[in-house]
Amino acid sequence: MKKINMEFVFPLTAIVILVLGLSTQLFNISPAGKLLNPFVGAIQNEKSEIDEYAGKLFSCGGLSDSVSVFFDSRRVPHIRAGNQNDLYFAQGYVSASLRLWQMDFISYVAAGRLSEIFSDNGYLEHDREQRRLGLLGAARKSLAMIEKDSMTNSILTAYTNGVNAYISKLNYRNMPFEYKLLDYAPEQWTKLKSVLIMKYMASILSGFEQDKSMTDLMLSLGEESFNKYYPDFHSYSSPFVYDSVLKANNSTAYLAKPGYLNYSFVTSNTIIPPSTFNPHLGSNSWAVAGKKTQSGHPILCSDPHLGLSFPAVWMEMQLTAPGMNVYGVSIPGTPAVIIGFNENVAWGLTNGCIDVKDWYKLKVDAGYKKYEFDGKWLDLECNVEEIKRKGQRSFYDTIYSTKHGPIMNNKGSGMNSYQENYALRWELNTASNDMLTFIELSKAKDYNDYRAAIKNYKCPVQNFIFACKDNTISINHQGNIGLKWAGQGKFMLDGTKSSHLCKEYIPDDSLPHALNPKSGFVFSGNQHPTYSDYRYYYNGYFTESRANEITKLLEKENAFSIKKMEAVQLNNTDFFATEALPLLIRMMRQSKITDAQLAFVEALGSWKGTYNSGDKDALFFDLWMNNIRDYTWDEMLGMQNPPPPPSDYVLLGLIKNKPGDVIFDNRSTDRIETAADIVREAFINASDTYEKIKAERSVDWSENHKVDIMHLTNIEAFSKMGMPSAGSPSVINATDRTWGPSWRMIVELGDRPTAVGIFAGGQSGNVGSPYYDSFVNDWNKGNYYPLQFYISGDEAKKGSVSSWILK
Amino acid sequence: MNKKEANKKRWNNLKSLVIVIVLMLLSGFIDALPWWFFIVPVIGFGIVTALAEWEVSAFTVGCAGGFIVWCGLNLYYDYTGYGIILNKVGAIIAVSKPVILIVSGVPGAILAGLALYTGNVFIARNKIISLEDRA
């Protein structure tokens, strides 16, 4: 009989401790044992799911018939199903196969649940903020509305089942790498998660507001100066509704200071809520009718400008079922195609840039139970949100809200980046079924179908650009815009008065739109949709330079082709620069400068305002304009909380028409400066900076304008950093360090649609896949890929390099 | 230890190494098992070596087996795949792919070494074997 030797206890204990240690995330270090294990760890993510499972039949359950998924050479899935529900089930399955972690993660971000993933406390404030902003509540309300619409509900249910069919096949080995790295597992997909993703996109596009800044400016500058420097409209805009048939109402051109707005109204703290929302997230889109194209068929272009990230925000796909055949980009986690085309129509989107986020100053009783409204004291609503935390006890946050919306910073909440006792009214928090728009657009055959589809669209306000193969073109500024009195919502509002709350929206048929204009084109570059004679008041954060350049280029050409449209979409000319430069050069020639400086001025005079990669003058102009802005707006920059500077077009107007304006005077000098002094000083200092840069590195524009595409976790190893790029925020090819044309699409309709496109990323979200970033270099070079639109199953089969069958 | 015994031990070590590698591969390829499950058969095999009264350098052989399987398979998948993910994992902690490949063998090596040693000392032997011999 062998005896047991107790010596084994020590190594066995060591094993147990090691296994536990290597299986758990300790001090934010990923579980090394699991991660480095070659059977299940990181190396198992070294694959292309698409190719690995080529020809495979996946048993999913929940499908009424088999669905074919054909992947073309760029691994774009072409999904062909026998009915609509199977199609969306398959879309869910395929989207999850390629992008599960991304879509799941965004749903956590939107719902304010990051503390469940990250074990330190770094995301608690984020989660509290998200809960208070109300995306989760808004998604719940919207889902309740969606569930009442049988078509949307059955599509969303099918999509959800498809995602879950994929999740049910996952084990540790084949789950996306980020789960392994952050040591958590995918949860069941829900319809709510899809709605959360839609709400998250809406929040990105409608989150920017500057009510507090505008309030401070109106009070500090006074009514006249405020209207001079921060006008809602100016003469340099190219609205898309030119032939305004609407009733003239010039009251919106000049904003009188609202009676309630005075310093005693704004007595509490003066911290400006730091906006993490980017006002530049705009986009370009235009359509030209056949009379302006070589082929006689309409061409539609769309390039939405969004934050650039890995995995990419978009995923290309073709969805085919009886009654629909659509190609375009979808947002992983949501059904249908957001921007795309079918055999009959094409559509694009740009941000409407309307301010749909208003703040209301409340009067709350000392016990924080009631608030005053029209002389009555109403009960504050109070909800306790549980924020679960990884490795810690849950955090419970009490959120108060009023008729207007949530109070971001109630007394004692510690949410000090927001103003205390202000309620937020954000259109995003209204229930809406925006998904239905895209579901119906996929099937649209003509303008009437398109109009019926976009009627369901509420938030964020978007410009829908439309083209039909019958040569109908249209633009619609679509979404919920409150009926407001002039100035309402531009400044902080009084929460004690019902008159400050919007009760209605601008009627759908009165929203700015244009149908088959005489010009033969419709366009949007996030400019003002109308002139100041529009019947209703609205405000927002519009930009004009891109729209002006688009108008110029579309007016000039009468025989557009896809190739010519590529050149327009990649155009790097700054319209503002081409307008400002001649004036600035003229002023410099008339000023006292050295011969060397004059020679520099003359050389700059030949610059065409382009931000191409090799341009050497673009950097100089940028430095010069930055100095002119800083020296002119020193009054604003010197404020305790510097507001955004006025528009460049306001600045140009002042230089041109009011060079002696008091704003040009530098308060720190004894003499009184004029525009000419500012322009000259800005030039001399820009020259010095330029020479210093030149001594260090190339002054080629692309060497001074680099683009980062960051992974959603901000891990640089999964990102592409510092790509030298052409373009600039104010040109049509609007690129900046972290955002840019996230998807470029050009579609020519006709007997059969012909299209090209590219997005900044790759089809796969897997960091170990060659298709994770396979489009990026071509995207940065301005190349396009032909988009394979298959009509028949045989075509799809012939064009595929890999295929799956779902059954 | 005479030459004959030394040769026998070397042969036992080699056999054990192969068996450890095979056991780790077999248990590793079963998805349903937890990542550390290879420890169980390796301990079991360690007990067998004790029962069979094999002279084995248990910890060293286990370490070698674990390292070969973990580092070798990572290298194999990297070589036959796209060569992407280990570069990225390495970049997270600012090391190159060769370094991360070597590091990848360490957990497997230590655990397999400890597992074989645990099994090997589990049964008291008739013959007294020094700890140095076992290690």
Asked whether A649 and A617 are in contact (CB, 8 A), the reply is no
State the pLDDT confidence band at A412, using cuts at 50, 70 and 90. Answer: confident
Question: Nearest to residue A61, comparing CAs of A134, A193, A165, A155?
Answer: A165
Asked whether A474 and A513 are in contact (CB, 8 A), the reply is yes
Whether residue B54 has pLDDT greater than 80: yes
Question: Crossing angle for the helix pair A9-23 and B97-122, nearest 10 degrees?
Answer: 150
Q: Is residue B131 part of a domain?
A: no
- Mean predicted confidence (pLDDT) in A132-143: 93
Domain that holds residue B9: 3-124
A717 and B29 in contact by Cβ < 8 A? Answer: no
Which 3 state secondary structure label does DSSP give A338?
Answer: coil
Nearest to A39 among B29, B51, B90 (CB): B29
Q: Is residue B132 part of a domain?
A: no
Nearest to B117 among A11, A44, A172 (CB): A11
B89 and A717 in contact by Cβ < 8 A? Answer: yes
B36 and A33 in contact by Cβ < 8 A? Answer: yes
| Separation in Å, CA of B11 to nearest CA in chain A | 24
pLDDT, tens only, A300-317: 999 999 999 999 999 999
User: A474 burial class (0-12, 13-18, 19+ CB within 10 angstroms)?
Assistant: buried
Which 3 state secondary structure label does DSSP give A162?
Answer: helix
- Mean predicted confidence (pLDDT) in A773-787: 97
pLDDT reported for residue A54: 77
**Phi–psi pair at A526, nearest 5 degrees:** 65, 30
pLDDT reported for residue A262: 66
Whether residue A118 has pLDDT greater than 70: yes
* Pairwise pLDDT comparison (A242 vs A590), residue with the higher score: A590
Whether residue B50 has pLDDT greater than 60: yes
Which of 43-102 (B) contact A at CB < 8 A? 43, 51, 69-70, 72-74, 76-78, 81-86, 88-92
A258 preceded by a cis bond (ω within 30 of 0): no
Question: What are the beta bridge partners of residue A406?
Answer: A401
User: Which chain A residues are closer than 8 Å to B69 by Cβ?
Assistant: 38
User: B101 burial class (0-12, 13-18, 19+ CB within 10 angstroms)?
Assistant: buried
| Separation in Å, CA of A63 to nearest CA in chain B | 27
Angle at A227 between CA A221 and CA A228, to 5 degrees: 85
State the pLDDT confidence band at A273, using cuts at 50, 70 and 90. Answer: very low
**Residue B28 in contact with partner chain A when CB distance is under 8 A:** yes
Whether residue A6 has pLDDT greater than 80: no
Which residues neighbour B128 within 8 Å (Cβ) at sequence distance 6 or greater?
none
Category of A609 on φ-ψ map: left (φ > 0), alpha (ψ -120 to 50) or beta: left
Whether residue A1 has pLDDT greater than 50: yes
- Which class is domain A233-355+434-490+497-569? alpha beta
State the pLDDT confidence band at A246, using cuts at 50, 70 and 90. Answer: very low
Residue with tokens 């040009």: A664
Q: Is residue B110 part of a domain?
A: yes
Which residues neighbour A642 within 8 Å (Cβ) at sequence distance 6 or greater?
A636
A322 preceded by a cis bond (ω within 30 of 0): no
A43 and B78 in contact by Cβ < 8 A? Answer: yes
Round to whole Å and give the CA distance between B103 and B71.
8
Both tokens of residue A418? 């927001």
State the pLDDT confidence band at A253, using cuts at 50, 70 and 90. Answer: low
pLDDT reported for residue A252: 52
Is the Cα torsion angle B112, B116, B121, B127 positive or negative in sign? Answer: negative
Asked whether A340 and A356 are in contact (CB, 8 A), the reply is no
pLDDT reported for residue A2: 66
Both tokens of residue A125? 């404030």
A43 and B107 in contact by Cβ < 8 A? Answer: no
Whether residue B18 has pLDDT greater than 90: yes
State the pLDDT confidence band at A350, using cuts at 50, 70 and 90. Answer: very high
Q: Is residue B78 part of a domain?
A: yes
Structurally, chain B folds into a number of domains equal to 1
Percent of chain B scored above 90 by pLDDT? Answer: 67
Percent of chain B scored above 70 by pLDDT? Answer: 91
| Separation in Å, CA of B6 to nearest CA in chain A | 25
pLDDT, tens only, A23-44: 887 766 778 899 999 999 999 9
Question: What are the beta bridge partners of residue A475?
Answer: A465, A514
Mutate to test the interface with B, among A8, A24, A776 (most CBs of B within 10 A): A8
| Separation in Å, CA of B86 to nearest CA in chain A | 7
